[in-house]
Amino acid sequence: MKINLLLYATLLILPFYKSTFTIEVGVATLDPYMIGIILLALMGLFINIFSKKTFGFNVLDLFILLFCVTYLCSILLSENILSSGYLAVHSIFIPVISYFVLKSFLISDSIYKRSLFFILAGIFLFSVIGLAYIGFTGTREMILNIPPIGVATFAVFSICNLVYSGWWKNKFGIVSLALALLLLFFSFSRVYLLGILGSPILYLFVKRGHVVKLFTFIFPFTLILTLLLVVNYDYFKPTKFEASKEKTVERVLNIESWKKALYARAHTYQEGIKNFKKKPFFGTGLYRGEKVITVHNFHIEWLEFGGILGYIICTGIFFVYFTLQKVVVKKDKFSTLNLCILIIILSNSVTNGIMHGLMPYFVFITMGFGEARRKLVETKIAKKMCLEGS
């Protein structure tokens, strides 16, 4: 019971992990979410070693561990090991630990739903503060040290869970959904807005079991689009757009803003490809550039930061996850909505990247929820078959 309380508190505080206290341990800086998730991981490891409980290690877990090993190699080979390691902790290792913790501890339907409730409650509180801040400033800004794309990721996670689980059909759900929708809109995150608008069609498509087909379409299609943008970036050169309007609704409504974003991203893609060519096998490791810490494209990021090996493993993680989820997706709405969230984040990451900020957290947290849910559904199906057989 105490472990569950720690789990709920850790998930509740996630939206505030950058704005609360920190503890310095040597060269490491620990925040409340990191402390909670590391303690849970140690407890889970102890339970698995000294009890008869089985974790259920599978091929997805293997790919995720290989992902960590690959990036550990890229860190050791990077030009600045400390900087690369610091970024990797927040972009890889803590998110991965979150995945394993959720898969380990969400062992019943009630614990699953309570855990989801607490993370949504945290986003609700964040939304209240965030909208008050936006109303005061009137522009697209960082909220509690969370950048706008991270704010939008909170909103997308909340909207999908509330709408497609049916949890919006009560007073708390209605208010939470309204706040999340407002938060998403005022983040002016263009691709996320399109993702939520198209999510009903996406949900139906995934629910029918076509998620692997969708994955095999998205990856090569977005890779081709990325390469075409790199080659034809001059086509998107904006004729006129005021930088001051970038933090207003003009960011969404003005076509010149869209062109400006693609034009700027194409230049970072070119730089990322050059860096990939220097270290094509293990990559450069994560690094903080002079202006940005990401090239705003998950294909280029995986190639640049992790090399060919890292790219293959990252692609494999998604392919294996979607394949495993295909078995239960027709039988469970939570499994379906988790897949929709991942696909929307992945689609957004074509132009915003995935190896920075909150994106890795929510990728692996969503996978953790998804794998825990799959195990629950498969156990339920197996019990039903046993009863029918007897």
pLDDT single digits (tens) 20-77 = 877 766 556 788 999 999 999 999 888 877 776 666 789 999 999 999 999 888 888 8
pLDDT given for residue 374 in this prediction: 94
Distances (CA, A) of 61 to 55, 94, 97: 10, 15, 11
Q: What is the mean pLDDT of residues 172-187?
A: 94
The yes-or-no verdict on residue 387 having pLDDT over 80 is no
Give the mean pLDDT of the chain: 88
pLDDT given for residue 381 in this prediction: 81
pLDDT given for residue 314 in this prediction: 94
102 vs 281, which has greater pLDDT?
Answer: 102
pLDDT given for residue 259 in this prediction: 75
Distances (CA, A) of 162 to 118, 176, 189, 211, 270: 13, 8, 20, 21, 39
Token pair belonging to 58: 């599978």
Q: What is the mean pLDDT of residues 236-264?
A: 70
- 167 vs 173: CA distance, rounded Å: 6
- 244 vs 239: CA distance, rounded Å: 16
Model pTM above 0.85? yes
Q: What is the mean pLDDT of residues 251-270?
A: 78
- 8 vs 389: CA distance, rounded Å: 38
- 254 vs 257: CA distance, rounded Å: 5
pLDDT single digits (tens) 287-342 = 876 655 678 899 999 999 999 999 999 999 999 999 999 889 888 999 999 999 99
Query: Please, which residues have CB within 8 angstroms of residue 327's CB and are 6 or more apart in sequence?
Result: 374, 378
pLDDT single digits (tens) 352-369 = 889 888 899 999 999 999
134 — pLDDT class (breaks 50, 70, 90): confident
- 106 vs 371: CA distance, rounded Å: 9
The yes-or-no verdict on residue 390 having pLDDT over 60 is no
Query: Torsions phi, psi of 281, nearest 5?
Result: -90, -60
378 vs 243, which has greater pLDDT?
Answer: 378
pLDDT given for residue 290 in this prediction: 66
Could you tell me if 229 and 269 are in contact, meaning their C-beta atoms sit under 8 angstroms apart?
A: yes
Among 205-214, 236-245, 293-302, 332-341, where is mean pLDDT lowest?
A: 236-245
pLDDT given for residue 282 in this prediction: 85
Q: Which long-range contacts (CB under 8 A, 24 or more apart) does 236-239 make?
A: 236/262, 236/263, 236/266, 237/263, 238/263
